Chains A and B, each alone.
Chain A
Amino acid sequence: MASVEWVEVRGPSVEKAVEAALTELGLESRDEADVEVIQEPQRGFLGLGGQDAVVRVKRKERSGSGGRARRTRSGNGTGGRSAGSKPADGGPRKDAAPRAPRESQARNSGQRTATAPRPAAAARPAERPKPKERPPRPPRDDDDREETPIEEQSADIRRFLVGLLAAFGLEGEVKERIEDGAIHIDVVGEQTEALVGPKGSIVQAALELCRTIVQRRTMDGAKIRLDIAGYSERRREALRIYTTRLADKVKAEGGEVMLEPMNAADRKVVHDTVAEIDGVRSFSEGEEPRRSVVIAAE
Chain B
Amino acid sequence: MRGEIVQRVVEYISKEIVENPDEVTVTIVEEGPDEVIAEVRAAKGDMGRVIGRRGRVAKAIRVLAQAAADEEGLQARVEFID
Contact = CB atoms under 8 A, between A and B. Distances in A.
Chain B interface, DSSP helix/strand/loop, else mixed: helix
Contacts of A167: 5, 8-9, 11-13, 68
Given A160-B16, A163-B16, A168 B9 contact: yes
Contacts of B67: 168, 194-195, 197, 202
B77 to A, nearest CB: 12
A202 B63 contact: yes
B52 A202 contact: no
B57 A208 contact: yes
B72 to A, nearest CB: 10
Contact of B13 (A64, A164, A166): A164
Contact of A208 (B9, B11, B56, B71): B56
Interface string B42-82: 00000001001000110111011001101100010000000
A209 B75 CA distance: 21
B34 interface: yes
Contacts, number: 66
B16 A205 contact: no
B57 A209 contact: yes
B64 A206 contact: yes
What secondary structure prevails in chain A residues at the interface with B?
helix
B71 A169 contact: yes
A201 interface: yes
Interface size bucket, A side? 20 to 34
A163 B9 CA distance: 9
Interface in A146-191: 160, 163-164, 166-169
A213 B64 CA distance: 15
B24 interface: no
Contact of B60 (A194, A208, A216): A208
Nearest to A216: B17
Contacts of B68: 167-168
Contacts of A194: 67, 70-71
A205 B59 contact: yes
Given A202-B64, A209-B64, A164 B12 contact: yes
Interface in A189-224: 194-195, 197, 201-202, 204-206, 208-209, 212-213, 216
Contacts of A206: 60, 64
B63 A205 contact: yes
Given A201-B63, A206-B64, A163 B12 contact: yes
Contacts of B13: 164, 167, 209
Contacts of A204: 60, 63
Interface in A16-42: none
Contacts of A166: 12
Contacts of B61: 205, 209
The 5 closest A-B pairs by CB, nearest first: A205-B63, A205-B60, A208-B60, A167-B12, A167-B8
Given A67-B75, A164-B9, A169-B5, 5 more contacts: A64-B34, A167-B9, A168-B8, A168-B9, A168-B71
